[in-house]
Amino acid sequence: MKRLYIDFDGVILDTITRLYEEAERQEYDISDNEFYEKFNYKCILKDKYIINDSIECINKLLASKKFEVSILTHCHSIKEASDKVKYVRKHFKDMTVIICPKDISKTKILHTEGAILVDDYGGNLREWKESGGIPIKFSTKTNKKDYDYPVIDRLDKLLDMF
């Protein structure tokens, strides 16, 4: 059974777009930590922002018994982490959710050797590969030739890869 870590923002839910829209609407600088501390994440942690049937795809991955699946997510605040865990628990009763502080690399909090990371952010994937992990780029864009890693637009495509 392969260890599989799935990023939350930009892979499971389209939260990044919503976060930027809210920052602009509230006239906050997106790099301002105060914005993240005050932000109500519940307004963007909604099923209507699910990307390409990701919840159903994760259920397929779990049913296959090919993977030990965990959600690995960067968070800016305890509130964000808490809200994300509650969202995941709404869909999966027994899913490991690993919270990584935003200023720490995902590779620094767990063992990466031979483990798969599905992420939409190239920087995370580069670090993952450098640490001996298997990076998979998640992208809804059609031009997949520009990436240095295998690219998927649906999580259930992992079933054909491993």
pLDDT for the residue numbered 146: 63
pLDDT in tens, 3-43: 999 999 999 999 999 988 988 888 888 777 778 888 889 99
pLDDT for the residue numbered 65: 97
pLDDT for the residue numbered 35: 82
User: Does the structure show a pLDDT above 70 at 144?
Assistant: no
pLDDT in tens, 47-65: 999 999 999 999 999 999 9
pLDDT in tens, 82-140: 999 999 999 999 999 999 999 999 999 999 999 999 999 999 999 999 999 999 999 99
Q: Which CATH number fits domain 2-161: 3.40.1350.10, 3.40.50.1000, 3.40.190.10, 3.40.50.620?
A: 3.40.50.1000
**DSSP code string of 99-161:** EEETTS-GGGSS--TT-EEEES-HHHHHHHHHTT-EEEEE--SS-GGG-SS-EESSGGGHHHH
Within 8 A by CB and 6+ apart from 138, the residues are: 7, 10, 11, 118, 119, 120, 151, 152, 153, 155
Give the DSSP letter of residue 52.
Answer: T
pLDDT for the residue numbered 23: 84
pLDDT for the residue numbered 127: 97
pLDDT for the residue numbered 27: 85
pLDDT for the residue numbered 142: 63
Give the residue extent of every domain in the chain.
2-161
Residue among 3, 11, 72, 9 nearest 44 (CA): 9
pTM value is 0.94
